[in-house]
Amino acid sequence: MGWTIMIHGGCGAMRPETVSAGQEEAARAGLEAALDAGTALLSRDGSALDAVEAAARVLEEDPAFNAGRGSVLAADGAVELDAAIMDGADRSAGAVAGLRTTRAPISAARAAMEHSPHVLLTYAEADRFARAQGLEQVANSWFVTPERKAQLDRIMAAGGKFDSAIKYGTIGAVAVDSGGHVAAATSTGGLTAKRWGRVGDSPLIGAGTYADDRSCAVSATGLGEAFIRAVAAHQLAMRMMLGGEELGEALDAVLADVGSLGGSGGLIAVAPGGEARWGFTTPGMYRGLACSSGERRVSIYGEADDR
């Protein structure tokens, strides 16, 4: 059978009139590079798990997105990184939260999955684990960009309240390989000006990340608190497996549920049979798709506004 990979780079108030030409060019180039990384593996009969890690790793290195370098800043001025990865073949999973020095959070999540008895590792001990696994460590300042520092300064000057005009920049990837196995990966710097060790949905298996060969692989982006309360990624999978819903129907229902909780955002999902869907309730979502059939596209805005 064929293969499919979908990626996202976050959602938010992106419209053609609010995104500069330079920002759009950088985002599209980053999405194309991530698709290249994933398709290079899948086209050689590589695993969905390897493909989503590779795609996520590219996006983590790209300061156009809120993951890895270019992540948003917490209220104390530091970057804290969360990530998760899951293999639909056996539902093995790994996740990290609150990393401050590990350059590749998604690879730390995979190391947690493969080399620890635990699913979720957090904060300084998670960085220490990643270091012991041979993953590169960098100063926290390496992740910081002038744009993200300016965003924090603006929010703190306004009292520290979240600015809805700033996009939810979580990145993610889902894939199905030629063997019919699915996998999902999600990585983020979280919310600008977050406090008190806040952790969102991205590293929580079943909330922002989920994969199961019996249904689908899912990665979410948006207001994490609402996606946690909706158990969004797992809900989508169970709507398919237990409720008999089609992938698109289930995805739309989950976004409606998130909306009923006061949240907004987006989802990407693929099924073992190759069906792929994305959806979002914000004006735009950075996203891309590539398939063994030759279909490939990258989009940013709502379907009516995209070019």
Q: What is the pLDDT of residue 13?
A: 81
Bigger pLDDT: 167 vs 302: 302
Beta-bridge mates of residue 249: none
- pLDDT for 307 equals 44
Question: Which region among 103-107, 169-173, 179-183, 242-246 has the lowest average model confidence (pLDDT)?
Answer: 169-173
Task: Give the phi and the psi of residue 41 in degrees, each rounded to 5.
Answer: -80, -50
What's the pLDDT at 289?
98
Contacts of 159 (CB under 8 A, 6+ apart): none
pLDDT at position 302 is 82
Residue 162 pLDDT level (bands cut at 50, 70, 90): low
The pLDDT value recorded for residue 241 is 97
Percent of the chain with pLDDT over 90: 89
Q: Which of 170, 186, 188, 192 is catalytic?
A: 170
Tell me how crowded residue 72 is: count the other CB atoms within 10 A of its CB: 28
Using the predicted structure, report yes or no on whether residue 306 has a pLDDT greater than 90.
no
Nearest CA-CA partner of 8 in 182, 269, 244: 269
pLDDT at 155 over 60: yes
Domain boundaries, the chain: 4-300
Q: What is the mean pLDDT of residues 17-36?
A: 92
* One CATH from 3.30.1490.20, 3.60.20.30, 3.40.630.30, 3.40.50.2000 for 4-300: 3.60.20.30
Q: How much is the pLDDT for 1? A: 82
pLDDT, tens only, 56-97: 999 999 999 999 999 999 999 999 999 999 999 999 999 999
286: nearest Cα among 172, 196, 201: 172
What integer is the mean pLDDT of 30-34?
A: 97
Question: How far apart, in whole angstroms, are the C-alpha atoms of residue 183 and residue 161?
Answer: 35
| Tokens standing for residue 289 | 């798709």
Return the pLDDT at 163: 55
Catalytic (active site) residue 145: no
pLDDT class of 290 with cuts at 50, 70, 90: very high
> What are the pLDDT digits (tens) for 184-221?
999 999 999 999 999 999 999 999 999 999 999 999 99
Task: Grade residue 20 by pLDDT with cuts at 50, 70 and 90.
Answer: confident
- pLDDT, residue 304, reads 47
Q: Which pairs from 258-264 meet CB under 8 Å and 24+ separation? A: 258/222, 258/223, 258/226, 258/227, 258/230, 258/232, 261/226, 261/229, 261/230, 262/223, 262/226, 263/222, 263/223, 263/225, 263/226, 263/227, 263/229, 263/230, 264/11, 264/222, 264/223, 264/226
Average pLDDT over the chain reads 94
- Residue 165 above 80 pLDDT? no
pLDDT, position 169: 75
Pairing mode of beta strands 92-99, 120-122: parallel
pLDDT tens-digit map of 99-121: 999 999 999 999 999 999 999 99
Euclidean distance between CA atoms 193 and 173, whole angstroms? 26
3-state secondary structure of 111: helix
